[in-house]
Amino acid sequence: MLYFKTDEGVGLLKESNLLVSKTLAEIARYIKPGVTTLYLDSIAEKFILDHSATPAFKGYAGFPKTLCTSVNDQVVHGIPSDYQLKEGDIISIDCGVILNGWYGDSAYTFAVGKISEETKRLLKFTKASLEEGVKAAVAGNRVGDISYAIQTKAESGGYSVVRELVGHGIGKKLHEAPEVPNFGKKGTGPKMEKGLVICIEPMINLGNKETIQMKDGWTIKTADGRPSAHFEYAVAVNKGKADVLTTFKYIEEVLNKM
């Protein structure tokens, strides 16, 4: 069943997602060669607690940390560790919070120092595919319209779409209905109406679409070992145009100064 939020509910979700946007911007300041993913996790945890919120992923289904940090060929759900970032890496940072009982969830893939042109283009297309998905998240459309828009954009760049993991509804739970796949057909799936709040989160691979799970029981990697990118927005479906509850503005302000 789909939960349609009142304007008040959407407003509270906007606050929790704004805090995630600001947490990712805080982390952005520390991303450079030599820094461990565990250190980034500690920055995020402190920032969230300092803002009267709770890390949403820590303890969720037994996940041990505040962030998912997924480097290079890791797609999602990487566990922060003593791995030191190095020049040319990319790192997807996925962050969730609970503020006033409402969840926020967003992800951004960062470059560590200088990255190859090939990887830069992957990041650009993944973010663009997210934007295409957002354009389709309007009242009266179906979830498959979002899926189709993302897949079309990603594949137009020569990339492949991960099938095993999908976006989701969000509210007083981290994962609500509907599932929001990043591949699919127009005109299929649940019909969206004003007040539906969903996380759209394309996971796009440079090589082929197949993934494998690592022995830690969490980390998902590409089967061919080539890089993967991931960007995620929470959006409130509305008439004519979705209300994007996440903003990458703060992250990009930090990155532009580095």
Judged by CB under 5 A, the stretch of 56-64, 81-89, 92-100, 242-250 that binds Mg ion is 92-100
The answer to whether residue 31 forms part of the interface with Mg ion (CB under 5 A) is no
**Cβ distance to Mg ion smaller for residue 199 or 236:** 199
The answer to whether residue 107 forms part of the interface with Mg ion (CB under 5 A) is yes
The answer to whether residue 105 forms part of the interface with Mg ion (CB under 5 A) is yes
CB proximity list for 76: less than 8 A, separation 6 or greater:
68, 70, 92, 94, 107, 165, 203, 220, 230
DSSP-derived 3-state class of residue 194? coil
**Cβ distance to Mg ion smaller for residue 224 or 243:** 243
Q: Do 46 and 73 contact (CB within 8 A), yes or no?
A: no
**Three-state SS annotation for 238-252:** ECCCCEECCCCHHHH
**Cβ distance to Mg ion smaller for residue 56 or 138:** 56
Minimum distance from CB of 198 to Mg ion (Å)? 9
Q: Do 216 and 79 contact (CB within 8 A), yes or no?
A: yes
Using CB under 5 A, count the residues that bind Mg ion: 5
**Cβ distance to Mg ion smaller for residue 132 or 201:** 201
Token readout for 81 is 């560790």
Letters for 167-206 (x = contact with Mg ion by CB under 5 A, - = none) are --------------------------------x-------
**Cβ distance to Mg ion smaller for residue 85 or 97:** 97
Amino acid letter for position 241: K
The answer to whether residue 94 forms part of the interface with Mg ion (CB under 5 A) is yes
**Cβ distance to Mg ion smaller for residue 73 or 94:** 94
Please give the C-alpha separations between residue 81 and each of 41, 223, 244, in angstroms, as whole numbers.
9, 21, 32
**Cβ distance to Mg ion smaller for residue 94 or 176:** 94
Minimum distance from CB of 253 to Mg ion (Å)? 21
Residue whose C-alpha is closest to residue 164's, from 111, 71, 257, 228: 228
Within the chain, strands assigned E span: 54-55, 67-71, 74-76, 90-99, 102-111, 160-161, 167-169, 176-180, 197-200, 203-205, 211-213, 220-222, 228-230, 233-236, 243-244
DSSP-derived 3-state class of residue 11? helix
Minimum distance from CB of 81 to Mg ion (Å)? 19
Site for Mg ion in 219-238 (CB under 5 A): 232
Residues that bind Mg ion (CB under 5 A): 94, 105, 107, 199, 232
